[in-house]
Structure 1
Amino acid sequence: MSDQATAPTPSLRAAGMRQTPQREGILRVLKDSDRPLTVEEIWERMPERRSGLPTVYRNLERFVSEGWAESIVGPDQVMRFVRCDSRHHHHHLQCERCGRTTEVDGCGIDASLTELERLSGFRVTRHQLMLFGVCPTCRSEKDR
């Protein structure tokens, strides 16, 4: 993902949540991964596994609503979660070879959405765009 070393740490208390080892563990696991993770993968990597999978699911749902994480459905139709560093609208780019994911700023489809609204009569309230490609590391490995 984008430069995680400088990413602001979400404030659990400011969001009205108790600061627990489980919540901190989930956020740490997401921050330390450059690939989207399933709930089970997150749970397995948590240093303190005092909570069950339902608790992890509930916390991830809250983190998504706070903008600290995003859910991504992979090509295998499995829901995974990725840590978001940006609080503004953004999309993700994922390597098709290694799975590494990064945030990309800028949407560029606003004009298309306006036209879609005009043609369909719908009012678009949100959208999610996932882009796929080959990361620089995998590209350079192929060239060797």
Structure 2
Amino acid sequence: MSDPGPASSPSLRAAGMRQTPQREGILQVLKDSDRPLTVEEIWERMPERRSGLPTVYRNLERFVQEGWAESIMGPDQVMRFVRCDSRRHHHHLQCERCGRTVEVDACGLDESLIELETLSGFRITRHQLMLFGLCPTCRSEKDR
């Protein structure tokens, strides 16, 4: 499966964004990490730190809008960001021990959401679900 990811220039341009080393650096840092990262962690890992933290924040906000990243509130109430490969609706699983996060291209909540709309009178426009557990590596270490 090829990666049509946003680190390639056409995706930035297709979204109406200039291709800059800072934007490519942010996307690459997210792609290289298997754990959600804070803005500061992303900035520290960028190969070229010509931009400040406000620029990283602004770009991450745009990447979330484009579906290239997702913001995840950590257990410490600190916002972190993870790269999203799927452009479709999806969720994430996070290991409670090591923090490794994987994207799952599944939802299964459609019927429940319809029922919630009926009961509440709300029109649900979006939802975000984070699932927690132990990754295969941490499970095998725990079993030893």
Question: Does the pair score TM above 0.5?
Answer: yes
Q: Hey, what does 1:137 align to over in structure 2?
A: 137
Q: C-alpha displacement at 1:8, in angstroms? A: 1.6
Q: What CA distance in whole angstroms lies between the structure 2 residues aligned with 1:6 and 1:77? A: 35
1:109 Cα offset (Å)? 1.0
Distance 1:32 1:111 in 2: 35
Residue 27 of structure 1 corresponds to which residue in structure 2?
Answer: 27
- Which string of whole-angstrom CA distances, capped at 9 and with x for unpartnered residues, describes residues 87-107 of structure 1? 000000000000000011211
Per-residue CA deviation, residues 111-138 of structure 1 (Å, 9 max, x unaligned), is: 1111110011000000000000000000
Q: Measure the CA separation in 1 of the matches of 2:137 and 2:5.
A: 27
- CA shift for structure 1 position 39: 0.1
Structure possessing the higher relative contact order (Cα contacts under 8 Å, 6 or more residues apart) = 1
Map of 1:64 onto structure 2: 64
After superposing the two structures, state which structure 1 stretch, 121-130 or 9-18, moved more: 9-18
Give the unaligned 5+ runs of structure 1. none
- The ranges of structure 1 where at least 4 consecutive aligned residues each deviate by more than 6 angstroms after the TM superposition are none
1:104 partnered with 2:104: yes
Distance 2:42 2:102 in 1: 18
CA distance in 1, matches of 2:5, 2:138: 30
Counterparts of 1:33 and 1:47, CA distance in 2: 14
1:99 and 1:6, CA in 2 relative to 1: closer, same or farther beyond 3 A?
farther
Q: Give the whole-Å Cα distance in 2 for the aligned partners of 1:88 and 1:21.
A: 27
- Give the TM-score taking structure 2 as reference length: 0.95
3-state DSSP of counterpart to 2:117: helix
Q: Which runs of 5+ in 2 are unaligned?
A: none
Aligned to 2:3: 7
The reply on whether 1:83 has 2:83 as its aligned counterpart is: yes
Q: Distance in 1 between matches of 2:43 and 2:131?
A: 27
Find the aligned partners of 1:117 and 1:71 in 2 and give their Cα distance: 25
RMSD: 1.0
1:125 and 2:121 aligned: no
Provide the C-alpha distance between the structure 1 equivalents of 2:87 and 2:76, rounded to a whole number of angstroms.
28
